[in-house]
């Protein structure tokens, strides 16, 4: 098969979730609804936290950043999918594909780091409550988030360099509804040296944050075991419940997708399962944090009441 350099490949083909024409309107309506719910729900969380002075704490500062990443994460993939369904097209330009991969790397890695930072925040609050306000100062929290963004932006640029040296076959098809890194690597017609470097980089971006989360919660559990008051244990655990659920949902679905695809080699099954962590998880996060958190629910009620009371 004749190959050509990737700079000469102008269009890739996204095969999407289904080739059945009768399912396209259903897929369009379903994903449009999930996208709107995700954007609206996370925007409400951000507005509620920013407008309520009672929520100007490190925990809710990190939560508002997580909501922002949720919006960006889902906006990287779903709008292009909706456009392709509406236009009955599967095309995505080479530049669009690289841009999508770049921002997916940033937002998914930032998602990991924010979950890690939130776990550290809970660790300090429960294990070192007397030093919490000193350690988790507003200045430190802002610098922590800005440092994460800067580091990830630079790392993503560096990790994109191997992609610019890959070659692709004419008429490359990507068996996914977005330009997923693993599928781009599989579709390449070049050697695997750059591929190994990319896989190692992505593995490190997942392993280190997950290790930090596990360590933080191991210390939290140890501290909870030493508490004598049942009320104190319940209060401490309730502040971690929502975060633990989101961590389990995100890592469980994302790792499940890649482990399943590695075992079954089913590209269609992998793309369908990817919907869980790219679309469903960002959509559920506002509900998880609002339904299980009295402070957030109170802030949302006050925000909505102010909005409806305006003439």
Return all residues near 249 (Cβ < 8 A) that are at least 6 apart.
Answer: 277, 281, 284, 288
Contact 299, 64 (CB under 8 A): no
pLDDT of residue 37: 95
| pLDDT band, residue 196 (cuts 50/70/90) | low
| pLDDT band, residue 234 (cuts 50/70/90) | confident
Note the pTM of the prediction, 2 decimals. Answer: 0.87
Strand partners, 303: none
Contact 78, 109 (CB under 8 A): no
Q: What percent of the chain has pLDDT over 90?
A: 29
Mean pLDDT of the chain: 82
Alpha carbons 67 and 73: distance in angstroms, whole number: 10
Region 209-235 average pLDDT: 83
All domains of the chain in start order, with CATH: 3-309 (1.20.1070.10)
pLDDT-wise least confident of 136-150, 213-227, 255-269? 255-269
How many CB atoms sit inside 10 A of residue 210's CB? 17
- With a cut of 60, say whether residue 210 has pLDDT above it: yes
Q: What percent of the chain has pLDDT over 70?
A: 85
| pLDDT band, residue 197 (cuts 50/70/90) | low
Strand partners, 14: 174
How many CB atoms sit inside 10 A of residue 273's CB? 18
- Residues 101-125 as b or e (16 or more Cβ within 10 Å = b): bbbbbbbbbbbbbbbbbbbbbbbbb
């Amino acid at each position: 098969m004749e190959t050509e350099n990737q700079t000469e490949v102008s269009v890739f083909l996204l095969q999407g979730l289904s080739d059945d024409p009768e399912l396209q309107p259903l897929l369009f309506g379903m994903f449009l609804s999930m996208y709107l719910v995700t954007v609206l729900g996370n925007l409400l969380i951000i507005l509620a936290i920013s407008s309520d002075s009672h929520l100007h704490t490190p925990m809710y500062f990190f939560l508002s950043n997580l909501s922002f990443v949720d919006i960006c994460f889902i906006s990287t993939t779903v709008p292009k999918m909706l456009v392709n369904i509406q236009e009955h097209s599967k095309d995505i330009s080479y530049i669009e594909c690289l841009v999508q991969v770049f921002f997916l790397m940033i937002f998914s890695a930032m998602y990991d780091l924010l979950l890690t930072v939130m776990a550290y925040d809970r660790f300090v609050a429960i294990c070192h409550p007397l030093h919490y306000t000193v350690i988790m100062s507003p200045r430190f929290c802002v610098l922590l988030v800005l440092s994460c963004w800067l580091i990830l932006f630079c790392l993503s640029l560096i990790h994109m360099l191997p992609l610019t040296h890959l070659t692709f076959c004419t008429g490359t098809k990507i068996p996914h509804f977005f330009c997923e890194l693993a599928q781009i690597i599989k579709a390449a017609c070049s050697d695997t040296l750059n591929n190994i470097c990319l896989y190692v980089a992505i593995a490190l971006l997942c392993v280190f944050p997950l290790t930090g989360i596990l360590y933080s919660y191991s210390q939290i559990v140890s501290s909870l075991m030493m508490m004598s008051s049942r009320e104190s244990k319940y209060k401490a655990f309730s502040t971690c419940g929502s975060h633990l659920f989101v961590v389990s949902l995100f890592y469980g679905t994302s790792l499940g997708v890649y482990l399943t695809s590695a075992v079954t080699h089913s590209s269609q099954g992998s793309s369908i399962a990817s919907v869980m962590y790219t679309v469903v998880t960002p959509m559920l996060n506002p509900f998880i944090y609002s339904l299980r958190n009295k402070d957030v629910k109170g802030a949302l009620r006050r925000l909505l009441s102010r909005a409806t009371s305006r003439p």
